[in-house]
Structure 1
Amino acid sequence: MVTKKDEERGQDSLQEENREPLLQDQEKTSADRKDKHEWMVYFSTFVAVCGSYSFGTCVGYSSPVQSAITEDLNLSIAEYSLFGSIMTFGAMAGAITCGPIADFIGRKGAMRTSSAFCVAGWLAIYFAKGSLALDIGRVATGYGMGVFSYVVPVFIAEIAPKNLRGALTTLNQLMIVCGVSVSFIIGTVLSWRALALTGLIPCAILIFGLFFIPESPRWLAKVGQRKEFEAALQKLRGKDADTSQEAAEIQDYIETLQQFPKAKLLDLFQTRYLRSVIIAVGLMVCQQLGGINGVCFYVTSIFESAGFPSNVGTIIYACLQVVITALGATLIDKAGRKPLILVSASGLVLGSVLTAIAFYLKTYEIALEASPIFAVTGILIYVGSFSIGMGAVPWVIMSEIFPINVKGIAGSLATLVNWIMAWLASYTFNYLMSWSSYGTFILYGAVNAIAIVFVVKVVPETKGRTLEQIQAAING
């Protein structure tokens, strides 16, 4: 006998069964719509990180072509050393001017400017008949690198939704190491002039791609282009997306910031911006003084000094960078910025200690057969640890923490500090190694240990928050 309760239960069950497919269809439709909305963000990011890849080709160029260029153009060691290092000074000039350029002509305008310098630089290197043209070309590509190092992560951070911002901004570092690694590899089979021409490819893709992607909505809002701001945001989020809440939040925040006077360099040291400056500059100092540029530029000699086959070690080094940086990109929006950088800094300490042990054993001729094992293990742990966090995360955080009214000048300062520290680390590496090979890596380990303390005490977690929420929390 069927009771009334059984009938009601049956109807409820039938309704539930009918509701489940409907909910699944709604969820699927929502997911499909979300994917459609985000394709322009992905495409815009791809175009922007072509600049990061171009950055990597500039860094990776000088190593595989050294013997060929010195032989073809009869360069002395001093002349080639100048060619290799002068790029850093071009990058410093780019760092000084990148913020004002990006503020004045926009993020896309800054990327076009940077690409133009890189194209001119590569062509100067390709047609070079002597050291002067080589140096001019190297300075020009260095300038492009300095601008790219700031504007690419800033542009990506400003266009990405908060749930994708960390991963997409990390692609900046991934494409840099891809550019370095590919240059190392193809540089072994191409002539130095042909390798210079390959540097034009990412620049060409970037210049062409910029015609199809929107400008940063936040920059458009800052300069008062209201219609263009709304159109760019709608294009990034999809034509069917409701952007009213996000647009209102951005607009309200920028209107609040515009009540302040135009920012100058000294204004960064006011109380309301000082914490952001300390975080950004501190992370850049920790990133570079931990020794990465010394290790990167001289990894071949490090393996040789420790008694490990340098060609095998360099190939492993190049591949490991790419794989671990890609892993970091997948983890940053799940694990968070702060945990990732703490794990990275801890690994850098371990890698430095193991490498120091290797050189200590070799210096005092103790267990010589163990020295190469410690060396290669230490260097690979060091490189892998840097790639997963310390390489990319400081740039991600730098792109998130500054209000847009000071972002240009503050970003220039942080980028300039990064390049000065990069030059200092690479310049002092050989002097430190001649002083004490194991002492050098003990020093790097100590710097990375200080970085752990700095991150724990000073650096905030920015995962899952809008740029406006992050900046309001830090700067009050």
Structure 2
Amino acid sequence: SAQTAVGKGGDSQPQPLCPPVLPPSALQNKWVFLATFAAVLGNFSFGYALVYTSPVIPALERSLDPNLSLTKTQASWFGSVFTLGAAAGGLSAMVLNDLLGRKLSIMFSAVPSVAGYALMAGARAFWMLLLGRTLTGFAGGLTAACIPVYLSEIAPPGVRGTLGATPQLMAVFGSLSLYALGLLLPWRWLAVAGEGPVVLMILLLSFMPNSPRFLLSRGRDAEALQALAWLRGGQADIRWEFQQIQDNVQRQSSRMSWAEARDPHMYRPITIAVLMRFLQQLTGITPVLVYLQPIFTRTAVLLPPQDDAAIVGAVRLFAVMIAALTMDRAGRKVLLFVSASIMFAANVTLGLYIHFGPKPVAPNNTVGLESVPLGGTEQPLATPTSFLTLVPLLATMLFITGYAMGWGPITWLLMSEILPLRARGVASGLCVLVSWLTAFALTKSFLLVVNAFGLQVPFFFFAAICLLNLVFTGCCVPETKGRSLEQIESFFRTGRRSFLQ
């Protein structure tokens, strides 16, 4: 059927399956890209803060200051408490996203971020480091929930996939910047450097418009029309798009009730989004990134571990760029299938190498992995000239590439695309909360499992999760390429697959 009935109130009116093609200026207007850049600076800070401990923990373990010299337990908490802060940030986003709006919520994240970096830069005791790390995690969790929603609501459908990949791209770029600066700056100055992107984000966002959908939901119609016109460019005909947004907002003018939460068109997309965030973390990305240098040290990689970490960061950046360029061409589901398959192969390779391959000549003194059993004494010792020891580096690069091509950026994008408007603020916060609680549980239990059963066991578990992700993608994930947010919502409301084919 070429038409579908989308009701406004109790009436129904014909609506074309696909929106009319917007004039080129609507897709090429530079202002929507500027607004995107301003917002995703928050993701740059998130990526920077996430891996801040990578060069800092070794430096603090060697510190001559007794108040800052970390024990193994303290270092473990310093590394993982970020995820608890991020979970709290996701929880707060469930309220702030709809209370302040998407843009103001992103701007608000600068407060805990600046305070956290200041605490770590001037730390005189361990509690200051922990609190600073928690506050930067809180800011990261808040931006992780708000930025994808803001981008999905300001982007034209034709470039929403590309713009939706930019948060992950900027987070990777932030991590890579931290690795690079870590070779040049002392740990306190690394925290000072983290303030820069936050200040720039505040300055730029103060000139950007709010989401037209949020403005309409608050009855600020004239301001919403003005914002949409600014985002699409002066020459674009925005009447059709504005009417579609207005109809959808009016149909969902009140907040979602608990009774409505049991309606399939509400709980289905929310469940899919939450499960995607849960499964994304179960692939093992957070513990792999947090313990990247120790893992490389324990697997006796040919190159220095800090160089390996920088190489993996560069590969991750390249892979996310590939995803950003192909997402609106290949589609979301194809990239999710490819991503899970690559991660499965990489995890199996790592697990088999660790189980059967060489072990390091001397135990590692890096946080948490110093007692990792890698097998019996019959394993050959690795030597610095053995090219076999490049296998963990290549497998990790493959794992990061697979993640960054699909399950990294697309889970964030789909979260912002499929969530119903009335539940978008609360549900996106719920997704981030689930994601970071899972990340914390994995990061803390990773060391326990490794020390009890061996480093190969987590990688075999992650491989099994990747197989589950393939099944989940095939059975549950809709293709949203090229569809407006209103069409996607209609798909879940009516259950007619023709909306998304």
Mark yes or no: TM-score above 0.5: yes
> In the alignment, which of 255, 273, 297 is matched to residue 280 of structure 1?
273
Mark the runs of 5 or more structure 1 residues left unpaired by the alignment.
Answer: 1-29
Quote the residue 2:41 is aligned against: 50
Aligned to 1:235: 230
Mapping 1:309-458, distance limit 5 Å? 309=303, 310-362=305-357, 363=375, 365=378, 372-434=389-451, 435-458=453-476
Partners in 1 of 2:441 and 2:341 — Cα distance? 23
Shift of the alpha carbon at 1:251? 0.5
The more displaced of 349-358 and 263-272 is 263-272
2:30 to 36, 39, 54: 39
Which of 183, 187, 191 is 2:182 aligned to?
187
Q: Residue 212 of structure 1 aligns to a residue in which SS?
A: coil
Deviation at 1:82, TM superposition (A): 2.4
The structure having more radius of gyration, on CA atoms, is 1
| SS of 2:82 mapped into structure 1 | helix
Is the partner of 1:405 in helix, strand or coil? helix
Letter in 1 for 2:244: E
Matching residue within 449, 457, 481 for 1:463: 481
Deviation at 1:212, TM superposition (A): 1.4
SS class of match (1:103): helix
Q: Which residue is equivalent to 2:109?
A: 114
User: Which residue pairs with 1:268 in the alignment?
Assistant: 261
Contact persistence 1:300–1:314 (CA under 8 A): yes
Distance 1:251 1:304 in 2: 56
| Equivalent residue letter for 1:56 | G
Structure number having the greater helix percentage: 1
Counterpart Cα distance in 2 of 1:370 and 1:190: 32
Instruction: Give the alignment's Cα RMSD to 1 decimal.
Output: 1.8
Q: Distance in 2 between matches of 1:304 and 1:269?
A: 50
CA distance in 1, matches of 2:132, 2:210: 29
Comparing both chains, which one has the higher relative contact order based on Cα–Cα distances under 8 Å and sequence gaps of 6 or more? 2
**Aligned match of 2:491:** 473
Residue 389 of structure 1: how far off its partner (Å): 0.7
Give the C-alpha shift of residue 370 in structure 1. 7.4
Q: 1:151/1:57 Cα in 2 relative to 1: closer, same or farther (>3 Å)?
A: same
SS in 2 for 1:262: coil
Cα–Cα, structure 1 residues 76 and 438, in superposed 2: closer, same or farther, change >3 Å? closer
Q: How many matched pairs? A: 443
* C-alpha distance in structure 2 between counterparts of 1:315 and 1:75, whole Å: 25
Residues 68, 124 of structure 2: 8 Å contact kept: no
> Residues 208-246 of structure 1: CA distance to partner in whole angstroms, max 9, x if unpaired?
001211110011111111111111001101122111100
TM-score (norm 2): 0.85
Contact 1:349–1:448 (8 Å) recurs in 2: yes
Show CA shifts across 1:34-86 (max 9, x none): 56x52110000000010000101111211111233341443331333322222
Question: Does the Cα contact within 8 Å between 2:278 and 2:438 map onto a contact in 1?
Answer: yes
Aligned with residue 150 of structure 1, among 145, 152, 158: 145
Aligned-partner Cα distance in 1 for 2:440–2:316: 21
Contact 2:51 2:290 in 1 (8 A): no
| Residues in 1 aligned to 2:429 and 2:290: alpha-carbon distance in whole angstroms | 25
Aligned to 1:65: 56
Deviates more, 1:359-368 or 1:159-168: 359-368
**CA positional deviation for 1:372:** 2.2
Conserved 8 A contact 1:358-1:372: no
The TM-score, its normalising length taken from structure 1, stands at 0.89
Structure 2 residues not aligned, in runs of 5+: 1-22, 358-374, 495-501
1:107-149 CA distance string (max 9 Å, x none): 1110111011101111122222111222222221111011011
Selected match of 2:291 from 293, 298, 311: 298
SS of the aligned residue for 1:263 comes to coil
Report if the CA contact (8 A) 1:307-1:371 is conserved. no
